[in-house]
Each structure stands twice: as structure tokens, then as C-alpha cells.
Amino acid sequence: AQSVTQPDIHITVSEGASLELRCNYSYGATPYLFWYVQSPGQGLQLLLKYFSGDTLVQGIKGFEAEFKRSQSSFNLRKPSVHWSDAAEYFCAVAQFKAAGNKLTFGGGTRVLVKP
């Protein structure tokens, strides 16, 4: 069965500094990968997704992610963090099933931004 691991439960970063969130997946075939963000008290919003092609994917809010098949990773990055980036971030992998496709989510990484 596929799985997603986000090794960092919490990350604290200073405003203006760079941010990298780690995501490792386990999946037998070529994965469909996603990063979602959840602001406090809100539902999840898609940041970016990788299906195929260029392994460096650009998303909304200045985020990017790089797919590395050899490392089974899909890490999320932002060069300069803003206070509004304080949120919880979830990595997810899509599972293909005859009964219907669905996502498996990692445990999430909570990002705190210091002024």
C-alpha cells in the first residue's frame, strides 16, 4: 500500500528566510503527487501537483516542489517566507483504484513564521 511521510512535524522559520518541507512517498508506479496548505480554521487548498514531465513544479503563492524518483521525495520550497505562510502543509499521493481514485495524505508539517 502506498504511504506518505512528512518527517518534520513542526518547523519554525524567520520571515524572509527560505523554507523547505520534506515529503517521502512509497508507491509502486509513477506517482501523482500533491501539496496542500491549510490555514488555521480553514479547509485545504492545493498549492501544486506533479503528474509527469518537468520534475520541478511551480505552484501558487511562490511555492515550488521537486520530484526526485531516486529518493522517493517531493520536497516543497519557498525562497522567502512571508508571515502569511504560517499554516499546516500536507503532501499527498494519488492512488489508482478500479473502484475510484483517491489520495493518501501525510501527517502534515506545521510552519511557524517568526517576525
Partner 1 sequence: NAGVTQTPKFRILKIGQSMTLQCTQDMNHNYMYWYRQDPGMGLKLIYYSVGAGITDKGEVPNGYNVSRSTTEDFPLRLELAAPSQTSVYFCASSKRGLDEQYFGPGTRLTVT
Residues at the contact surface with partner 1, assessed by CB under 8 A = 4, 6, 9, 32, 34, 41-46, 49, 51, 90, 94, 96, 99-108
Shortest Å, Cβ 74 to partner 1? 15
Give Cα 38 distance to the centre of its chain: 11
Shortest Å, Cβ 17 to partner 1? 25
Shortest Å, Cβ 43 to partner 1? 3
Spell out where the chain has E strands. 3-5, 10-14, 19-21, 24-26, 33-38, 44-50, 56-58, 64-68, 73-78, 87-95, 102-105, 109-114
Shortest Å, Cβ 60 to partner 1? 11
Question: Are 33 and 95 spatial neighbours (Cβ–Cβ below 8 Å)?
Answer: no
Question: Are 50 and 74 spatial neighbours (Cβ–Cβ below 8 Å)?
Answer: yes
Quick one: 41 or 115, whose CB is closer to partner 1? Answer: 41
Quick one: 57 or 106, whose CB is closer to partner 1? Answer: 106
Quick one: 48 or 113, whose CB is closer to partner 1? Answer: 48
Quick one: 32 or 62, whose CB is closer to partner 1? Answer: 32
